[in-house]
Amino acid sequence: MKRFAGLLLAVLTLAGIVAAQGLLINGAGATFPYPIYSKWFDEFHKVTGAQINYQSVGSGAGIKQVTEGTVDFGASDGPMNDDQIKAFRAKNGTGILHFPTVLGAAVPTYNVPGVTGTLNFTPEALSGIFLGRISKWNDPAIANANKNVSLPANDIVVIHRSDGSGTTYIWTDYLSKVSVDWKDKVGKGTSVNWPVGLGGKGNEGVTGLIKQTPNSIGYVELIYAAQNKIPFGSVKNSAGTFVAADLASVSEAAAGASKTMPEDFRVSITNAPGKNAYPISSFTWLLIPEKFKDAGKRDALKNFIKWAITDGQSFAENLSYAKLPKEVVDKELKALAKVQ
């Protein structure tokens, strides 16, 4: 009993120390950057003592929660649209800023019996397949880009995400850019009205369906594909080269887009210029209110962002995220002054 009391005292003292350092910042949002965010928050806590809680509830829920003020900051795989920013301003009387943190990409993955090598996909082939217009694997739109591969005359089974997700946002954002029909008929979003195909829940659901369904094609996050050693195809970029997604080609897409980067960082880098840029890439953003009531939270969060986009970037590649290009980091450091 005495030992128990001692233990209790120790726990209480520890809790007291944590409370004294005291700063607890809450955030919520995207699931895609969760592995690196939790690593960053952990490292940041070790150095500064400030504790950042992050719930990976999804980009949509993150935007909703930061708008309603139930968390101090949000995170999203797609930038907030003008209506959402207006809603934030109406509710909180201040603006919201976007800070890119790392980069991700979506890759086409497939299961075609007899095909073992990497397939090449043109934008026309991908949009045609996902619109349901290209229904056979030996369609000239696919076959002409894969001269050395003998493709079967089987029906294509399209597999997409059934849950709302940032990966779907990147994928449909890309298809909207390369296909007018896709833009008019389907559009871009975390969930869309798919013209064809089956839905799988999560990256693992899509991968499972593809593995089990012969002649299928779908898309998953680059990180998921890399960690699970799932083979994926190359995509023809705007410069006309077929590029396989990797950390370098994704970073190059960001560098290509950084010259035309708008002040608010709300930019889509799908189909970005650059000879080796991977075309289905995207930033993921932290959503930070312009004004904070609590100066302590504000300074801690500003410190955190400053650290994450500079020194913190060294954690990115180990976790298969592509680093921010230097031009973007410089721009963001300037933009941090807007947070007050």
Partner 1 sequence: MATSSINVPSANPLQDSRSFLSRLRNGDEIARLITFIFAATVVLIVVLLVFELWTGSVLPRHKFGLSFFTTRVWDPIAEEFGALPFIYGTLITAGVSLLLAVPLGIGAAIFLAELAPQKISDTLQFFIDLLAAVPSVIYGLLGVFILIPVMREVIQPALKATLGFLPLFQGPAYGVGFFTAGLVLAIMVIPYIISVSREVLLSVPRDQREAALALGSTRWESTWKVVVPFARSGIMGSIFLALARALGETMAVTMVIGNTPTISASLFSPGYSIAAVIANEFTEATGDMYLQALIELGLVLFLLTFILNGAARLLMVLTTQRGSGMGNT
Q: Which residues bind partner 1 (CB under 8 A)?
A: 57-61, 63-64, 83-84, 155, 157, 162-165, 186-194, 197-201, 205, 208-209, 212-213
Minimum CB distance to partner 1, residue 197 (Å): 7
- Considering the complex, state which of residue 64 and residue 298 has its C-beta at the smaller distance from partner 1: 64
Q: Which residues of 153-190 are buried (b: 16+ CB within 10 A; e: fewer)?
A: eeebbbbbbbbebbbbbbbbbbbbbbbeebbeebebbb
Query: Which helix (H) or strand (E) segment is 84 a member of?
Result: helix 82-92
Residue 142 tokens read as 């696919």
Minimum CB distance to partner 1, residue 187 (Å): 4
Q: Are 176 and 187 in contact (CB under 8 A)?
A: yes
- Considering the complex, state which of residue 79 and residue 233 has its C-beta at the smaller distance from partner 1: 79
- Considering the complex, state which of residue 84 and residue 258 has its C-beta at the smaller distance from partner 1: 84
What SS3 class is residue 307?
helix
- Considering the complex, state which of residue 192 and residue 280 has its C-beta at the smaller distance from partner 1: 192
What SS3 class is residue 92?
helix
- Considering the complex, state which of residue 192 and residue 269 has its C-beta at the smaller distance from partner 1: 192
Minimum CB distance to partner 1, residue 166 (Å): 8
Minimum CB distance to partner 1, residue 112 (Å): 16
Minimum CB distance to partner 1, residue 219 (Å): 15
Minimum CB distance to partner 1, residue 212 (Å): 6
Angstrom distances, CA of residue 204 to CA of 49, 159, 162, 180, 235: 35, 12, 11, 30, 22
- Considering the complex, state which of residue 56 and residue 237 has its C-beta at the smaller distance from partner 1: 56
Q: Are 25 and 48 in contact (CB under 8 A)?
A: no
Query: Which helix (H) or strand (E) segment is 243 a member of?
Result: strand 242-243
